[in-house]
Structure 1
Amino acid sequence: MNIIIIEDEPRTAQSLENIVLDLKPEAEITGRYDSVENSVKALLSGKHPDLIFMDIQLADGLSFDIFKSVVIKCPVIFCTAFDEYSLEAFKSNGIDYILKPFSRESIWEALKKVDELRNFFQQKSAPDVNNLLQKLQKPAGKSSFLVFKNQKYTTIQTQDIAFFYIRNETTFAVCFDRQEYPLTQPLAQIAGMVAASQFFRVNRQYLVNFSAVKEIEHYFLRKLYIKLVIETPEKLFINKEKSHSFFSWLENR
């Protein structure tokens, strides 16, 4: 079985590859791609996988955009942090998913389902992408968040948030006025709720607003040092594997 992985987080992609090859030693990972653009180029150049693991939200857009340029005839297992409503959309279209953060068990169940439904997938030329887009794609993203601070509930506009970050396993939203609010949602879920064109997951701890990016410097070991218009608790770095996706995000908004 030839498998490709479409995932813009290098560590996540490597972890997924390791688990898949451990569960299916006969499988071969024939490609790993971190963007819509690179995935389309690879598939148009003659890649014919038997299975694709596909992250939904990539640095340069939703992975559903891939289907607009390429006819995919093999099963697709989506990797997602979306809520149950969105997962039901996947189920209704005969596509399986693994919910981030994924586990060995969830990957095994997904692979098992693909094996069981192989005949079904062979009869389908491609998933009903338009239906998925209608249910999942929100062009503007989430417009506000309900927060609780100082014994009061209030709402903050997403456009006023400079960045989200994790501290002591809790996600916080920091606004341009430097006010900080704890949130109940994990950062991975928030990344799937806000507009991909406006926010970028620079690393596992930080999700930043395009409007908050002040300047970028080259750093040691080909990393990028990102400075925002307001100070962050730690220095923000992007590793060399993700720098291309970050620059694409800056340029292609």
Structure 2
Amino acid sequence: MNIIIIEDELRTAKSLENLILKSKPGAKIIGQYQSVESSVEALSDGVQPDLIFMDVQLADGLCFEIFKSVQVTCPVVFCTAYDEYSLEAFKSNGVDYVLKPFSKDDIAEALKKVDQLKNFFQQKTVPNLEELLTKLNPSSGKTSFLVFKNQKYTTVQTDTIAFFCIRNDSTYIICFDKQEFVLTQSLDQITNAVSSKQFFRVNRQYLVNFKAIKEVEHYFLRKLYVKLVLETPDKLLINKEKSHAFLTWMEDR
């Protein structure tokens, strides 16, 4: 298996190379690149890897710019310190998303997933998309959020969150037990990070958990009025353009 590494931190790239070769002795590292520009140049010049390990934030921009400039046909394992890019990663040939600092087990598991994907396509002429996505991303979104409150860090499990909302230009977690926590991420970043099957962005201010929805009523001008099991300071209205998508999401359980 021919592999290239796209990583702007040389020490991290070397560590990644060592872990790859230990986990897959038959692999060969055929190139290492530190920027979007050098990666695009190499891939345009005919470098043909079987797999790419790629950092998200490179010296001259986000790695997703690479996909806009050159066609990448092989699978990609993203290695990054940031988890908010996972959705875009899986839209860009991503087969795994490894958070730094990664371990030998993390890299070995990523390589195993690549092999499973290869076997999957060899065994099935027409792959089932749902089955494939389950193999690629079994976690289906973030399972917890790190929060800071009362001078202490703690984690909030995603299943305990009734909804996220914007209040006074800050993003809040509101749990089913009515605890509240402030987040540093924007609501857009959170929407991309959580499971789209579990949460729905009803409007610009609210992202709600399916389990928090009590009932839905028709409202004026073909809008929907969403009532939650917890009282909200604002009336949750879904405009007519988004109503069909919301009802389809509600039904697709």
Name the TM-score, length of structure 1 as normaliser.
0.51
Aligned to 1:148: 148
Task: State the distance in 2 between where 1:181 and 1:161 align.
Answer: 10
Equivalent residue runs for 1:1-253 within 5 Å: 84=56, 88=62, 90-92=64-66, 94-95=67-68, 132-135=93-96, 138=137, 139-253=139-253
Unaligned runs of 5+ in 1: 1-82, 96-116
**Could you tell me whether the CA contact under 8 Å between 1:89 and 1:135 is conserved in 2?**
no
Matching residue's letter, 2:65: K
Counterparts of 1:172 and 1:217, CA distance in 2 = 25
Q: Which SS does the other structure have where 1:134 is aligned?
A: strand
Is the alpha carbon distance of 1:130 and 1:241 closer, same or farther for their aligned partners in structure 2, counting shifts above 3 Å?
closer
CA–CA distance in 2 between the matches of 1:242 and 1:140?
23
Shift in CA distance, 151/204, structure 1 to aligned 2, threshold 3 Å:
same
Larger radius of gyration: 2
User: What is the deviation of 1:232?
Assistant: 1.0
Cα distance in structure 2, aligned partners of 1:182 and 1:125: 40
- Contact 2:225–2:237 under 8 Å retained in 1: yes
CA displacement at 1:141 relative to structure 2? 0.7
Contact 1:166 1:206 in 2 (8 A): yes
Structure 1 runs (4+) deviating above 4 angstroms are 83-89, 124-131
The residue identity in structure 2 corresponding to 1:90 is F
Cα distance in structure 2, aligned partners of 1:152 and 1:126: 43
Between 1:137-146 and 1:232-241, the stretch displaced more is: 137-146
How far off its partner does 1:134 sit?
Answer: 1.5
Alpha-carbon distance in structure 2 between the residues aligned to 1:184 and 1:133: 26
SS across alignment from 1:156: strand
Instruction: Give ranges in structure 2 of 5+ residues lacking alignment.
Output: 1-54, 77-89, 98-135
Change (3 A) 1:238 1:215: same
Aligned residues: 145
In 2, the alpha carbon distance for the partners of 1:127 and 1:239 equals: 38
Taking structure 2 as the reference length, what is the TM-score of the superposition? 0.51
